[in-house]
Every structure is written in C-alpha cells, then in structure tokens.
Amino acid sequence: MKAEIIAVGTELLLGQVVNTNATFLSQELADLGIEVYYHTVVGDNPQRLEQLLVEAEERSDLIVLCGGLGPTDDDLTKDTVAAHIHHSLVQDEQALARLHDFFKFSKRSMTENNLRQTLMIEDGIPIQNPTGLAVGTLITKEDTTYLLLPGPPNELNPMFQQNVRPLLAARFPQAEQLISRVLRFYGIGESQLVTDLKELIDRQTNPTIAPYAKPNEVTLRLTAKVADEGLGQQLLDELEAKVMAKVGTYFYGYGDENSLVKVTVDALKKYGKTVTAAESLTAGLFQSTLGDITGVSEVFKGGFVTYSAETKAHFLGIDVKLLEKEGTISEACAIAMAERARIVADADYAVSFTGVAGPDELEGKPAGTVWIGFAEKGQSTIAVLQHFNRDRRSIRKSAVMKGLDLILRAVNKKN
Amino acid sequence: MKAEIIAVGTELLLGQVVNTNATFLSQELADLGIEVYYHTVVGDNPQRLEQLLVEAEERSDLIVLCGGLGPTDDDLTKDTVAAHIHHSLVQDEQALARLHDFFKFSKRSMTENNLRQTLMIEDGIPIQNPTGLAVGTLITKEDTTYLLLPGPPNELNPMFQQNVRPLLAARFPQAEQLISRVLRFYGIGESQLVTDLKELIDRQTNPTIAPYAKPNEVTLRLTAKVADEGLGQQLLDELEAKVMAKVGTYFYGYGDENSLVKVTVDALKKYGKTVTAAESLTAGLFQSTLGDITGVSEVFKGGFVTYSAETKAHFLGIDVKLLEKEGTISEACAIAMAERARIVADADYAVSFTGVAGPDELEGKPAGTVWIGFAEKGQSTIAVLQHFNRDRRSIRKSAVMKGLDLILRAVNKKN
C-alpha cells in the first residue's frame, strides 16, 4: 500500500505557511500501516496540479490531497480532481444543512461562495468536517484512491482522526503494523554511534534501526513491522538489548517527548536530592532549563549567576586571590564555584560553569573552552574541561547538557 | 526563473520532522526574485530521488536539494546527483581542514565516515558550512542548476544566508529588486496593530506592509519593488513615518536579526548602566537571555535565582515575616526582591520575577499571574502585575520580555 501527500496552496510555496499537514498525515498513515513515499506541494494552479495527479497515479495507490476546498476562487482542488477522473461535483446535503445552521447560529449573512464548500465528488464518500464547513471526499477510480481534505490543520486533524481513520482502516486493512521505540543518547556523536552499531544496523531488516542527530544528543528509533503487538515488543526488546550492550553507557531515556533535564529532575525527585548552580558562562541557562520542568521546586530552591570576578567573590565568598592567581576560566575557579554554591544554598549537588562563550577569546583561551565544576555532599569536588564547537548559544547549551549529565550519573550511581 | 525544492529524508515521510527547510528556502528564494513552483519530499532512496530529478529538470531551472549530506550510509543525495549528471565526487580541501580542526579542538576521535561530509561534486562551487561539517555544492549542467545543502536547519540557514545568497544573486540577477525594512514592536498584539494601520495597509501597493506575529512581539516588513535602491529607501522612509505616527510608541528597533534584549543591552552600554535580577518564576531565564548577547559582561555582573521562600530570604536578605504575611506571589515580594537584588549586586537597575508558571495554581492564584519588580538607583521601587496566557514556557518568556521593556523604557527616559 503506497501513499503520497499533495498539499495545494501558493502560500506554502511562498514560505508563508509551514506544511505541518504533511507531517500530521504521515504520522497517521504510518500508524495505519500505510507507507508514504512522497510529499509534494503545488500552488493554486489547475494545470500543475493535474500534471502531478498523472505522476502520482503512476506510483501510488492512495493520493491524499489537502487544501483548496474553501469558498474562494483559488480553491480548485475539488474541481481539478473531479475533472481529471471525469466525475461531477454534487451537493452534500449534510454539509449544506450544517452550513445553514452555522450562519443561522452566528447571525452572520451567508455569501454565495460558501456553497462551494458543500460540494463533493460524485459517487465518492463524503467526509464530514467537525470543526469547519468544507466537506471532504474519499473516492476510488480504477486502481487509485483519492482523499480530499481541507487545508486548515484545525479542520484537517479532527476530520482525519474522527472520520477518515475508520474508513481507511476498514478499506485497507493491514496485515502488519509498525511498532516503534525511541532510545535517547547523550555524550556520543551520531557518526560514532553509527560506527559502533554498524554491524547491527547493516544486519537488521525487521526491526530496523534509524539514528537521528539532534543538538547535543542522538536518538535511535527501533521499528518492527509485525502482525502482532506482543511479538513486536519482543523483537524490540531483543534489539534494544543488543544496542545497549554496545552503547548503553550513553543511554539516558526513552521516548520522543523526553529530555535529559526531565530524566535528571525525575532522578533527583525519586531520591529526594536537591541541586543548585553557580553560573558564569551559562548566565542562568542551566537553572532556567531546570525551571522548564513542572514541579522542579521540589529539588531546586535557587542558585547564582556570577558573571564577573566580583560577583563570584561577593555572592559565593570565593577568595579574590584565588581568582587572580588561577584566572576565572580555570579548574580551581570551577571547583570553588561549585563547592561554595552547594554550601551557601545547602543543596546535595551543585554544578558550576565558567568558560568562553565567544566569539572572542578570554584570558588567552579560545571560544568553547569550558570548565564545569561538580560538588556532591560528602565527596571531593571535581571539575571537567570541555571543548565545545559552534556558536555562543550552542556552546552554552552544550555546557548545560554536560552539567545535567554529571548530576544524573552521580544520582544514579549513588542510589 | 523557476525553482523547486526537494527535501531528502525518510524521517520527513514518517512525520518525525517537519519540513521547515522548504519554508525557509521559499522565503529566501522569493526574496531573491526566484519563483518556487514545487516542494517535494522523498525518502533516502536513490532510485526514487533520481526519478524525481528527471521530472524536476523538465520543469525547473534551479533544483534545491536539502538533506542527505551527512556521514552515514543513508546520506546519499550527493552520490545520487553526481551519478545522475555523470560527475565524480571530490574532496573539498577547506571542508577537510575544518573537519580536522573540529575533532582536534573537541578532542573526540574522528570516525572514517565523517570524511564523506567533505566531498563535493566535481566542477561545482563548494558551499562552506559555518556551523557544521557537511560541505554543499552549487553546480550547473546544461540548463539546470543544482544546489545541494545539508538537512539540519541550524546548518542550512546560516549557510544559505552567508554563502548561497550572494552566489545566486550574482548568477541570477533580477531587473527589479525588493528592498525591505523590518520594524519591531513590543507591547501591542498583531490584530490591534493591523486594526490601527488598516487604512494604511489597504491603500499601500508599493511599498507593501506585511505584519508578522512572533511570540511576544510583532514585526512589520515594509517592502518596495524598485529598479533603484535610493528610490526604494526613500519610499520606505515615507511609509515608515506614517506607520510611526500611529503606533510608534510600541516600536523598539529595526531588523530581522534584532531583539528586545539586544536593544536593551545596547542602551545600557551606551549610558554605562548596569543591571541585575532576582528570579523566581523565570528561574534564570532573564539572566540567560542577557547572556545570549555578546559583550553583555559590560552591563551585567551577576544575579540571583530564588526559587523558594528560603532562598529569597537567605540570598537577598528579605524578611521572612514579609513573605509569610504577603505571600511570595505578591507586589511586596516583587518589590523586595528587586530592591534587595539591586543593593546586594550594586547595580543601577534590577528586575524581579515572581508568579505562577503553571500548570497548577499557586497561593490561590491561577497560572499566568506574574508580578515583575523594577528597582532603579535613587528612585522608588515599583512592581507591575501581569496576566500571561498559554503554557509554562510561554509565561516565563513573556515575563522576561516585560522585564526588558521596563528597563529599556527607564534607560531611554532618563538619558
């Protein structure tokens, strides 16, 4: 079962609107076991749309079109598809009744062009629109099925989920479904991860392994194509065990909606530990990243932004002579910051960040040079030297991730 | 000049990633006077990509491909295009040197597959990547120009703006050019701005006025289409004066790459003033927003994150009885936080943030309730009550913007 998605609208080609419909429809179709091979965007132009239909019919069983079902003259998707397959447009009575109700309720007067929205392709199945006025159509002609949906996501999404899914599931029952699992890794680059897993990736066909690089982390999506969910989970468990045997030391959590800060805050909560920070380089970014997580106040009470030598001395009580002797971008400074912050804030853990955000060098050290201090109650305080690439913002974000990693590893090790 | 954009990547067809590259590239190409007729997405499959190239060559002069320049085996855009036009891949020496520098600096070991990223298509023009490792190529064969760019937006965007725009502008000059100017507004919503300017927007054809709503601010892009740059600037000056007469009180700066924090830091620098903050609700976001700006250390020395009542008392010396009596989400607390932070950090200005980030209410106040304190040397400290909508992250960002606005207005008024 091969499908493709055609979005119609000049506003997409001008870059005024992002094609989130293609993303949504792809997720939904994957979920139904229908494979999507192409997305295309074309403007409000009947000739180019018709040419695209000719190409799409050659290669796909299901063509999903979105956009161009509205009331204005440039909404021509329905007319174009109907003419192309030699069908007429006919009134859908349910959509017409809804249109009249809508204008009656809102006490606005209905303009003639609104009637266009209630037309569907003759002999097709009308798709009612729970949140808008334009009716859709599902119609099969020869070997191709055409699905016409409106462009606004707030109409297309509920329409698909409520009214299209059941139709497609019944019409194209899949023997097999896709079951997937996302593993998240910190501290290893995509190229290294893929090298470490090369043999495994090359050998796997079902389940498959797909790596994806995000800023400062890499995810692996394991996907099994199976008839039975239980079997799918078992295959994923087996593959995950093989992946973990090779790169498990970098693994920190599961799922698309997860993050290193979320996992770290959860671990602190679980063991009833608190954290603080003294931030120079990152200027509060570490603490505000913690603040993104709901309920973080259980484990985070506050901390310091010490952007100058004076505030390092004044807020944290660090000896000015140490800063003068070692410099602020130094192991000694990072250690003093973490140690003093932990004591002043009376927390179980503290991290500190001092370094060069760039673009210029500082104290003779190039941009990207970062010392991260880590203090733990009852342990000696340490500092690690990092060299981050890229721009100012990336350097600071990379430092925050490393700080989270230090805490998470310590919490998991101790408990 | 007809162009089309082909994004390569199975993750797009699975709905795991939104195709924002097509949107960005469409805007940039429109700006260069190049019309985009199609967007297509295809998976990591050389046969399907090659078939698409055949179709694209029939209908377009410029084919922009993005994605598939990375280090792994499924990155095959370069190989496919090169084979299709019967060119080889060759090493780009500049990209190779950059790759070696990157791994040397970050002290990570380089894997063999990284070398793939430094290959370009023979006889093409290499496009250097300021924020990543994969080099791009611009190459013309017969009547078609191919532009190959990497998939990650944080690489593609700067690469296009810095290195592709000048090449395309020189190679495909347009008779009339678009001259545009962006005006930025804080403190007024898009619908209100458009209502205030309705007559002006409806009447204008050249230059045009395009409003665009961003989180917490609105921009207006004034665009003149002219043969002569001087005339264009004159038309924009005249239109800008009319816009300012109506909504000038909300204007804070010019340009796409500008921001309220940048303008605020510039104003502080200009008048030699310093700022600090005490952050509860925002947990360091205000200070880390300052930290985004290069050279902010001139005006920002440090500050406090006081996420609990204890740290408000302990770090800032606020009377615990006041917090108990008034609550921490109160005018009195915001005033005390700003006042004490300014004194402890010895700064000219201080802002404070205390409120409910949500999703749950706090101290009987609903999510979005925010008090922002503002202290200025020699003036009485004040606090303003705000009610922000949306989610946790948006509420905290909105609060930071309001804090910046308070400072900017004070600095501009006094000086």
B307-330 mean pLDDT: 96
Nearest one of A375, A394, A395 to A386, comparing CA atoms:
A395
In Å, how far is A201's CA from the nearest CA of chain B? 10
CATH class in words for A177-254: alpha beta
pLDDT per residue as tens digits for the range A210-219: 888 888 999 9
The minimal CB distance from B111 to the residues A42, A192, A277 is found for: A192
Q: What is the 3-state secondary structure (H, E, C) of chain B?
A: CEEEEEEECHHHHCCCCCCHHHHHHHHHHHHCCCEEEEEEEECCCHHHHHHHHHHHHHHCCEEEEECCCCCCCCCCHHHHHHHHCCCCEEECHHHHHHHHHHHHHHCCCCCHHHHHHHEEECCCEEECCCCCCCCEEEEEECCEEEEEECCCHHHHHHHHHHHHHHHHHHHCCCCCEEEEEEEEECCCCHHHHHHHCHHHHHHCCCCEEEEEEECCEEEEEEEEEECCHHHHHHHHHHHHHHHHHHHHHHEEEECCCCCHHHHHHHHHHHCCCCEEEEECCCCCHHHHHHHCCCCHHHCECEEEEECCHHHHHHHHCCCHHHHHHHCCCCHHHHHHHHHHHHHHHCCCEEEEEEECCCCCCECCECCCEEEEEEEECCCCCEEEEEECCCCHHHHHHHHHHHHHHHHHHHHHHHC
3-state SS track over A224-243? EEECCHHHHHHHHHHHHHHH
Tell me the per-residue pLDDT of B219-276, one tens digit each, with 9 for 90 and over: 898 989 888 889 999 999 999 999 999 999 999 999 988 999 999 999 999 999 999 9
Chain A contact probe: residue of B274, B307, B370, B397 with most A CBs at under 10 A: B307
Quote the longest CA-to-CA distance of chain A.
87
- In the predicted structure, residue A160 carries a pLDDT above the cut 80: yes
Work out the minimum CA distance from A12 to partner chain B, whole angstroms: 7
Chain A residues closer than 8 Å to B111 by CB: 191-192, 195
Give the pLDDT score at A10.
Answer: 86
Nearest CA in chain B to A202: B73
Q: Can you tell me the distance from the alpha carbon of B135 to that of B112, in angstroms, rounded to the nearest whole number? A: 16
Q: Given an 8 Å threshold on Cβ–Cβ distance, is B288 in contact with A301?
A: no
> Cβ contact (<8 Å) for A30 and B15?
yes
Q: pLDDT by residue (tens digit) across A193-228?
A: 989 999 998 888 899 998 888 889 999 999 998 988
Give the mutation candidate from B301, B346, B351, B390 for the A interface (greatest A CB count, under 10 A): B301
* CA–CA gap between residue B41 and residue B341 (Å, rounded): 53
For chain A, where do the domains classified as CATH 3.30.70.2860 start and end?
A: 177-254
User: Does A212 sit within 8 Å of B11, measured CB to CB?
Assistant: yes
Average pLDDT of the residues in B157-182: 90
Query: Average pLDDT, stretch A21-48?
Result: 94
CA distance A21 to chain B (A): 9
User: Cβ separation of B302 and A305 shorter than 8 Å?
Assistant: yes
pTM of the model: 0.78
Nearest-CB residue to B42 (from A38, A194, A391): A38
Q: Is A208 helix (H, G, I), strand (E, B) or coil?
A: strand
Closest approach of B110 to chain A, Cα-based (Å): 8
| CA separation for the pair A236, A218 (Å, rounded) | 18
Residues of chain A with CATH 3.90.950.20: 260-414
Contact B13 A38 (CB under 8 A): yes
Position A163 scores a pLDDT of 96
The whole-number pLDDT of residue B267 equals 97
* Minimal Cβ distance to B30: which of A15, A40, A358: A15
pLDDT for position B263 = 98
B11: which chain A residues are within 8 Å (Cβ-Cβ)?
210, 212
CB–CB of B30 and A17 under 8 A? no
Return the CATH fold of A260-414. Answer: Maf protein (3.90.950)
Long-range Cβ pairs for the range B388-395 (8 Å, 24+): B391/B358, B391/B359, B392/A292, B392/A294, B392/B357, B392/B358, B392/B359, B392/B367, B393/A292, B394/B215, B395/B281, B395/B355, B395/B356, B395/B357, B395/B358, B395/B367, B395/B368, B395/B370
Average pLDDT over chain A, rounded to an integer: 93
Question: Quick one: pLDDT band at residue A415, thresholds 50, 70, 90?
Answer: low
Higher pLDDT, A237 or B359: A237
* Domain A2-171 falls under CATH 3.40.980.10: yes
